Structure 1
Amino acid sequence: MIGEHIKQIRKKRKMTLAELAERSGFAKSYVSSIERNRQTNPSIQFLESISKELDVSLNYLLYGDKNDDVLDKDWQHLIQKAQNLGVSKEKFREYLEENKENDGYKSNL
């Protein structure tokens, strides 16, 4: 399933297999084996690199259109930036809880 999503997205982006392989830093034969579902357990590094080169979220890469909860690019970039800065989910939840009175924000985080 992952391989099919990669292939669909790559073709939609008008990118050849060789281009995707070169840009992602993985061998063309490896990318091909993933796309053809011969290799069914790609590493997280592979998936992250491919999702970056195809400009889609990991979630979309894994689940395609079936997931209605795909975040827009601004949220994706904001979340990625927070992760890169070492902000944990717990710390983010704490921040929201501390600031919900100020914004009138109510949630069951």
Structure 2
Amino acid sequence: MIGHKIHLLRIKNGLSISELAKRADVSKSYLSTVERSNDSNPSVQFLGKIARALHISIDDLLQEDVLTYGVHALDSEWEELLNEIKESNMTKEQFRDFIEYKQWVKKNSL
């Protein structure tokens, strides 16, 4: 469960696995394993690094209620798409402009 919560908080903060691992000074592969595993038991040191990188306390990280953070899980396809957008260095403004353009094209092609 802690891995799922880390995953949701990472997404909420707009971070890729690579970015969070770098900020927390932890192994990207281990962070990925923790996020995907329901039975992982990461060390307190690891959790402390992750919590600091997410700007929360370890207590907040260990709380049972994930919904406290107002996070809604995305399906993996949306997550992948959002990560591709972020890794392409597209700004939020550029993405909004793209959406507006696509809406304009759709409206004017009717």
TM-score (norm 2): 0.55
User: Could you list the runs of 5+ residues in structure 1 that have no partner in the other structure?
Assistant: 69-109
**Which residue identity lines up with residue 11 of structure 2 in the other structure?**
K
The CA distance in 2 between the partners of 1:34 and 1:64, in whole Å, is: 17
Tell me if structure 2 keeps the 8 A contact 1:4–1:35.
Answer: yes
Task: Specify the alignment match of 1:76 in structure 2.
Answer: none
Per the TM alignment, residue 14 of structure 1 is displaced from its structure 2 partner at its CA by 0.3
Q: 1:9 to 1:21 in 2, by over 3 A?
A: same
8 A contact 1:33–1:39 mirrored in 2: no
Opposite residue 58 of structure 1, the aligned amino acid is I
Report sequence identity in percent. Answer: 42
Give structure 2 stretches of 5+ with no counterpart. Answer: 69-110
Whichever residue aligns with residue 52 of structure 1, its letter is R
- Per the TM alignment, residue 65 of structure 1 is displaced from its structure 2 partner at its CA by 3.0
* Inter-partner Cα distance in structure 1 for 2:64 and 2:53: 16
- How many residue pairs are counted as aligned between the two chains? 68
* Matches of 1:18 and 1:2, distance apart in 2: 18
Could you report, residue by residue, the CA deviation over 1:42-90 in whole angstroms, capped at 9, with x for unpaired residues? 1111000000000112122112536x8xxxxxxxxxxxxxxxxxxxxxx
Any idea what SS the aligned residue of 1:59 has? helix
Identify the residue that residue 10 of structure 1 maps to in structure 2.
10
Q: Distance in 1 between matches of 2:15 and 2:3?
A: 15
**In 1, distance between residues paired with 2:39 and 2:65?**
22
Show structure 1 runs of 4+ deviating over 6 A: none
1:17 touches 1:31 (CA, 8 Å); kept in 2? yes
- Quick one: higher RCO (CA 8 Å, sep 6+), 1 or 2? 2
Distance 1:19 1:11, change over 3 A: same
Aligned-residue CA RMSD (Å):
2.1
